[in-house]
Amino acid sequence: MPSVTVKLYSVLYKFLHKRQLQTLSEETHKPDSNSSSNSNPFGVVSRPDESVAAVNPTFSNDGVATKDLHVDPLTSLSLRIFLPDTCLAASPRVRVLNPESGVYGGYGGYSPLNDRNSRKMPVILQFHGGGFVRGSSDSVGNDLFCRRVAKLCDAIVVAVGYRLAPESRYPAAFEDGVKVLRWLGKQANLAECGRSVGNRRSGGGRDVHMWQIVDTFGASAVEPWLAAHADPSRCVLLGVSSGANIANYVAQKAVEAGKLLDPVRVVAQVLMYPFFFGSVPTRSEIKLANSYLYDKAMALLAWKLFLPEEEFSLDHPAANPVIPGRGLPLKYTPPTLTVVAEHDWMRDRAIAYSEELRKVNVDAPLLDYHDAVHEFATLDVLLKTPQAQACAEDIAIWVKKYISLRGHEFSY
């Protein structure tokens, strides 16, 4: 059974989260509210009551530098990049920029001198949980989890701050996930353009830094950390709870896009206790309906806030991926690691999805953790438990099969 601490925290968490869900629902149905019509394209990516971890562009403390970006001028879509200090192994020289004088030497954040001989690292796109209505890429819990993943996987983690419901209903969060994947490809292409320009000018004319290159309309400049260190051909998607639903959708869109996403290649995905639902209840949904931290009634309310009223169905493609005959055939799904917890009512549907993938010969192992609850490896108060650490290590072992430089075991 879960510890006494988990049980006590679960009571408090449920009380606060249910109240927030009810408040959002009441505001949505006010006569002057436009939330139900998905009329706020800019949206919000966090809630004011959530604790936020400060950004730190240096490798102090745990050896992971962070940076926040706002990547879409038309929406609130944002990112937090986690760069482990192992990127310096082949690129010891760094430059620092003084924002006042415009010369290098005063700014305390990491900035690569150039991308020549820089160590290239795989990229993990991470989607936080929160039932589509809360959570953020820069929350304390998500920040700690992404730092852990970056160190264990020896990879750049890009945490996606997607738009939340009910301000931005389906498909806003899913579209944000695809948008970030395309942005990653654009970054790689802009960086390559910068290298070409730099090579042409380094012969006799004035050299330029490649991160001064922008796209045609100036909407996207080269991000120096990614330009110097990211290898988008080794891209992994990692979704937590509702973020797992987004990751699974993005993986399908990546397969459909094929070479149009070049040089980005999604080589695997990790679904941590996915937020799947359905109209026909499973055994765990009946037995554990009132389970710890996040019960079935709370999930139902979250789905009502996320899906447009005219589209609401527990068998909606965003909620129930097991229903056959719609969307991309499962056999084209990238290798998928699924994580489930013993005391999580969502477990059976996640297990069923993993089984369906294995039936069509997709590498789809399942990690089932004893005495664990929903978000046991990602919730801020549980991150320091041995079980949370073990889960992150298990994920890293599997992920490294697909991001190893020895070659991809899967491609399409």
The catalytic residue positions are 241, 344, 374
User: 3-class DSSP state for residue 235?
Assistant: strand
Burial of 161 (0-12, 13-18, 19+ CB in 10 A): buried
Cβ within 8 Å of residue 238, ≥6 positions away: 124, 125, 126, 127, 149, 247, 269, 270, 272, 395
The string of DSSP codes covering 320-348 is -TTSSSSSS-GGGSPPEEEEEETT-TTHH
Q: CB neighbours (10 Å) of residue 258?
A: 10
- Percentage helix, strand, coil, to 5, in the chain? 40, 15, 45
Residue pair 273/340 in contact (Cβ under 8 Å)? The answer is yes
Long-range contacts of 362-366, Cβ-Cβ distance < 8 Å, separation of 24 or more: 362/330, 362/331, 362/333, 362/334, 362/335, 362/336, 363/335, 363/336, 363/409, 363/410, 364/333, 364/335, 364/336, 364/337, 364/338, 365/337, 365/338, 365/398, 366/338, 366/340
Question: Phi, psi (5° rounding) for residue 183?
Answer: -60, -40
As a whole number of Å, the end-to-end CA separation of the chain is 43
Query: Taking the alpha carbons of 339, 277, 34, 249 in that order, is the dihedral positive or negative?
Result: positive
C-alpha span between 350 and 339 (Å, rounded): 8
Question: Phi, psi (5° rounding) for residue 255?
Answer: -65, -45
Cβ within 8 Å of residue 68, ≥6 positions away: 55, 78, 79, 80, 81, 138
C-alpha span between 127 and 151 (Å, rounded): 18
